Amino acid sequence: MKFRKPYIIAGPCSAETEDQVFNIANHIKDDIDIFRAGIWKPRTSPNSFEGVGLIGLEWLKKIQFKYKLKVATEVATPQHVESCLSAGIDVLWIGARTTVNPFYVQEIAESLRGVDIPVYVKNPIHPELGLWLGALERLDNVGIKKLSAVHRGFYNYGNSAYRNNPKWEVPIKLRKESPNTPIICDPSHISGNHILIEEISQIAMDIDFDGLMLEVHNSPNLALSDSNQQITPKAFKNILKNLIVSQSKLNDNNVKQELNFLRNQINIFDTELIQLLSKRNDIVREIAYLKKQNQLTVFQIERWFEILKTRTELGTKLKLDNQMVAEIYELIHKYSILLQTRIIR
């Protein structure tokens, strides 16, 4: 399945009223490939707005007819699928809360057996690539070939600038495992904040995603769901206007040569890094044997705090990102602990 790039899917988080969806569609119709709106909204609290239900499908059908737009909505049950197919909805997507459960995905897949319709699969709530790939595979197994993955980020356990941690490495791994599956970014859910949406959209283009799914509302402050992450039609148009979409393949030989020269330098530094990590591991082994002889615990919390503090301080002096340095050392420390544990046991 191939898209023109960038493929743009946009519309409100939730269809709220007929006037609302028509107002939004009228403003963005010339800039999108698909108009999206949630009809059924899986919410954490039953007291939250959970969508307008079947009447929303009628509104989408009218938009489809009036503006000659393809329309899309989220499905979470076979009953949702049946209603959408009966209404002639063009595209379905499966949300993160559904992708996380293989039983739900299989039920939806069975309800789509023999149907030729595009289906987009959002990543599961937690960064489990296997679940994401498994959902795509279940749909492929029943004959759905127009499949796309939607990257909407992953649940955050701590404080973060984003509502959902992008963990860009996960969709990059998905591309490696399933190179023919288009990947669409959902900056609205990653950011959780309209201020960050343009930045996330550009990052998605920079790492060669195929499109964007954006939440657009005529009055974001009054939205019945996810008001902070929705943008006005004007802001939406500005984001598209400012978006830089670069080619993924080089045609200029001079630029190729310069890029290869710089990449070769990175290769040299990476080799040195690996060699240094190997030497560091040799010292970790010696520490493990010393701890074993003296019956010391593997994890020394004061030493860990010292490492984290001094390395991030050094990183700051060298103009490195603090979070990057901290994450690198958390990973190094994790495998140092594992190595010491194996030796001591």
Domain with residue 300: its CATH number is 1.20.59.10
Residue 257: what pLDDT?
A: 86
Q: How many structural domains is the chain composed of?
A: 2
Residues 95 and 201 placed together within one structural domain of the fold: yes
**Residue partners of 104: CB distance under 8 A and separation at least 6:** 76, 77, 98
The structure's pTM equals 0.80
As given in the structure block, the two tokens for residue 272 are 């040195």
Mean pLDDT by 10 residues, the chain (345 residues): 77 97 97 97 78 96 97 97 98 97 98 95 96 98 97 87 92 95 97 95 93 97 94 97 78 80 92 96 95 90 93 95 92 94 90
State the DSSP string of 42-95: --SSTTS----THHHHHHHHHHHHHH--EEEEEE-SHHHHHHHHHHT-SEEEE-
Residues 143 and 72 placed together within one structural domain of the fold: yes
Residue 1: what pLDDT?
A: 55
Residues 48 and 110 placed together within one structural domain of the fold: yes
Residues 312 and 221 placed together within one structural domain of the fold: no
Residues 313 and 284 placed together within one structural domain of the fold: yes
Residues 214 and 288 placed together within one structural domain of the fold: no
Residues 15 and 46 placed together within one structural domain of the fold: yes
User: How does DSSP classify residue 123?
Assistant: P
Plot region of 51 (φ>0 → left; ψ -120 to 50 → alpha; else → beta): left
Residues 72 and 114 placed together within one structural domain of the fold: yes
Residue 260: what pLDDT?
A: 87
Q: How far does Cα 213 stand from its chain's mean position?
A: 11
Domain around 56: 7-242
Residue 3: what pLDDT?
A: 52
- pLDDT digits over 190-233, tens only? 999 999 999 999 999 999 999 999 999 999 999 999 999 999 99
Residue 4: what pLDDT?
A: 60
Angle, vertex CA 333, rays to CA 328 and CA 336, nearest 5: 130
Residue 272: what pLDDT?
A: 95
Residues 275 and 178 placed together within one structural domain of the fold: no
Q: Of 242, 270, 298, which residue sits at a domain end? A: 242
Instruction: Identify whether 271 is part of a domain.
Output: yes
Cis ω on the peptide bond leading into residue 179 (within 30° of 0)?
no
